[in-house]
Structure 1
């Protein structure tokens, strides 16, 4: 075989490998973009797994084990019929998130002027970012916050909807059954958090706080 033929063959193999890498990356990018269909987050997927371990079909079915991080270094299951392989990828996500705009003391409630929306690489920032401004407004700082910090769920809590010692209504509902009783909350809780309530009879029941401060029990 001539040297020219060998060079041509090597170039052809290189182009084929490059095309396959592009196709798999595009397929994975499309898969991850469906998870952000209702946002302006831009997704790029870099395949880390060597080509020899890629799926053997042209259109593998992708899935993510568990409900972990939406971006960063992830393992994706690729299924071709009964055969499955795990592809290591880096999901690069660029989009908007909330950052602290001025100093906030621990225990203070956040207002509109305390946070700002900025853009950046989400996968390089701390986990559990707050992306929706409604999650931050009226939230209570759990630590001192400084300007420029990306705001995460671990930095704030939602305001108490029920406080310990507060008089509350307990609403119990079941199949064809509904009852209301009065009592006192035994612990603080935000919306949807568990609350223990002591009824007038002395009995202690457990339910979850709703947006109106009632305690809901499903029977």
Structure 2
């Protein structure tokens, strides 16, 4: 009887770490699935850290730094009261991303038919691959694109709303007043980018390009 009890206890001790690992993996999967909602609908997490370095409590507080990526190899901070443990995990995320639907030459403007969505492993894509197809609207390619090629944000720029040498309206808004003037743009700029303008007086001012092409200055 004693041998039976001893064997049962040994079996339970062997199973205990496995249950803890499964629980932690489930918590990490939920943690990343919540943060990747809207980008990925299929998340799988593998823990690379040895079990003897797992957090001691059953429900650790999980976090990643604000600038950290959320797929591939990721470091996760797990807090149990005042104790901190760092976990190395691999996150596989599946979702939609933007690819070229047809060949586009460098300097070409993207049309709605130029790009489309593909589905696959986001963690295996090149850095800064576009996930939101609306970001391609009115964009200009900085390199040749081949059909099926993932589109990276670094491959595009927004179309210029203002071009150097163009006459533009400058609108300066302050507390209870607004002043308009005309000048000449000194640089190319897209909507929401900064543009420098030489006013008729010779003064050079800087402002933000509005959707209508006016240069907006908040005083």
- Structures share fold, TM-score greater than 0.5: yes
Aligned match of 2:170: 170
Aligned match of 1:136: 136
> Structure 1 residue 40: deviation in Å?
4.9
- 1:159 matches 2:159: yes
> Structure 1 residue 66: deviation in Å?
3.2
In 2, Cα distance between the equivalents of 1:181 and 1:10?
84
Query: How many residues are paired up?
Result: 219
In 1, Cα distance between the equivalents of 2:190 and 2:3?
74
In 1, Cα distance between the equivalents of 2:110 and 2:195?
25
Deviations 1:28-67 (A, max 9, x none): 1222222233345322221111122222222222221131
Aligned match of 1:52: 52
In 1, Cα distance between the equivalents of 2:136 and 2:108?
12
Deviations 1:166-198 (A, max 9, x none): 122222233334322221111111121111111
Aligned match of 2:102: 102
Change (3 A) 1:13 1:211: farther
Taking structure 2 as the reference length, the TM-score comes to 0.90
Aligned match of 1:181: 181
Point out where structure 2 has 5 or more consecutive residues left out of the alignment. Answer: none
8 A Cα contact 1:41 1:96, kept in partner? no
Aligned match of 1:205: 205
Deviations 1:136-166 (A, max 9, x none): 1321110011112111101111111111111
Taking structure 1 as the reference length, the TM-score comes to 0.90
In 2, Cα distance between the equivalents of 1:175 and 1:60?
50
In 2, Cα distance between the equivalents of 1:83 and 1:175?
51
8 A Cα contact 2:33 2:40, kept in partner? no
Aligned match of 1:22: 22
In 2, Cα distance between the equivalents of 1:82 and 1:218?
46
In 2, Cα distance between the equivalents of 1:191 and 1:11?
66
What secondary structure sits across from 1:20 in the alignment?
helix
Deviations 1:102-161 (A, max 9, x none): 211000011222212110000011111111111113211100111121111011111111
- 1:190 matches 2:185: no
Change (3 A) 1:73 1:202: same
Q: Considering only aligned residues, what root-mean-square deviation do their CA atoms show, in Å?
A: 2.1
In 2, Cα distance between the equivalents of 1:114 and 1:125?
20
Change (3 A) 1:37 1:7: same
Further displaced range: 100-109 or 32-41: 32-41
What secondary structure sits across from 1:179 in the alignment?
strand
> Structure 1 residue 209: deviation in Å?
1.2
